[in-house]
Structure 1
């Protein structure tokens, strides 16, 4: 800005680059630094997302496109998917941690997979120590993830040592 230009009095009047920096700072202050380079979706949406539609849209782009997320099959995780609605398509890095509740997994998949973008790499990682590698292999089939007509996903990599299966969407 030129020296004679008055400083904008509204966040939305500021240039997009400055707003994005503000969004990153607000989320990092509200959620704290992430020491392991990911956020666990286990708490309410940051208050910033409830200011107005434009701020929500811009802040979600910054938050969902630039960060890695872990989701556990829980009521809070399902609430996140419900609150985000179609904005789930903005996720780029999402790891789903599984437990032994296949019914919860079916709810997650039915809520999540039709909405996510085709750039998302879906990682399903075992969170339950009592779940064997064989059960981990069988779980995606049991909940219908291998049904390409329904979900259109394919396995990119299976690592049973780290107990993780990586899926990508099949592009039309």
Structure 2
């Protein structure tokens, strides 16, 4: 129920579309599942799982077996075979390789107020939760980004990028504030 297909939309065989899904000018492959989501001018290859509550904006391309989970937004991005963006992330103006994991809360920071920039993530990379990737950045093959990092420089293949300040506890701070 509540499925809306608009424009030049095609859907492959053995798909599950809906409920509450809207597809506008999309090409959907075989064996795809999309629920409670919106996709515009996007290409979705075979065996992708989308939703709930995902938003695929124009020029999004998903290769075979991609997972785009709840509250994920993609724009003008290509995602490689078997990659996962399971939840709570924004991916704008990016190329993501195959078998990449994008952790919850990851934001591709692609706009500086004047211009939009692209980022690239190579195959088998791992992006930890709550990371910010400030475009343009290039994350190399099999590179890792530690959770909570803000990445502003390229990460070489096979490297671990850690870009966050150390926790500092201010003992007695609350009591002093109340004085």
TM-score (norm 2): 0.24
Say which structure is richer in strand.
2
TM-score (norm 1): 0.24
